[in-house]
């Protein structure tokens, strides 16, 4: 019972009153971005460049921001919680970019 009491006197981070409309707005944004993704894939079918990959990863990060920010409520939590989760992931994105470039060098060695 003790831990339940603890939950009680947490000062709850505010959920906006118009949460429902925010959720649906986010849904349409995610849907739109996915359609943009697919459209870009076919528009840029014959181009192969790291810039194109960067564009797709950037679109993925934008979608991730909406999912984490609105759906997972991160936008309305304490900033310290946000940094705890988001900062390590920034390094992961950096790691992804590094290994894509590294893969290109492996390609040059092989072919």
Cβ neighbours for 54, distance < 8 A, ≥ 6 positions apart: 97
Q: What is the footprint of other proteins within residues 81-110 (CB under 8 A)? A: 81, 84-85, 88-89, 92, 95-96, 99-100, 102-104, 106-107, 110
Cβ–Cβ < 8 Å for 37, 81: no
- Residue 35 Cβ, how far from other proteins at the closest point, in Å? 8
- Residue 92 Cβ, how far from other proteins at the closest point, in Å? 5
- Residue 34 Cβ, how far from other proteins at the closest point, in Å? 6
What track of x and - describes contact with other proteins for positions 48 through 87 (by CB under 8 A)? Answer: x----x--xx-xx--xx--xx-xxxx---xx-xx--xx--
- Residue 67 Cβ, how far from other proteins at the closest point, in Å? 5
What whole-number distance in Å separates Cα of residue 26 and Cα of residue 34?
Answer: 12
What track of x and - describes contact with other proteins for positions 7 through 26 (by CB under 8 A)? Answer: x-xxxxx-x---xx--xx-x
What whole-number distance in Å separates Cα of residue 52 and Cα of residue 104?
Answer: 14
Question: Tell me, what DSSP letter sits at residue 75?
Answer: G
Q: Hey, what are 60's tokens?
A: 């993925």
CA end-to-end span of the chain: 65
């Amino acid at each position: 019972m003790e831990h339940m009491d603890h939950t009680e006197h947490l000062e709850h981070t505010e959920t906006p009153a118009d949460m429902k409309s925010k959720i649906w707005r986010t849904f349409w944004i995610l849907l739109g971005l996915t359609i943009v993704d697919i459209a870009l894939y076919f528009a840029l079918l014959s181009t192969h460049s790291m810039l194109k990959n960067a564009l797709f990863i950037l679109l993925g990060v934008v979608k991730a921001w909406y999912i984490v920010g609105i759906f997972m409520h991160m936008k309305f939590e304490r900033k310290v919680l946000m940094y705890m989760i988001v900062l390590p992931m920034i390094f992961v994105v950096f790691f992804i970019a590094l290994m894509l470039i590294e893969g290109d060098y492996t390609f040059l060695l092989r072919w």
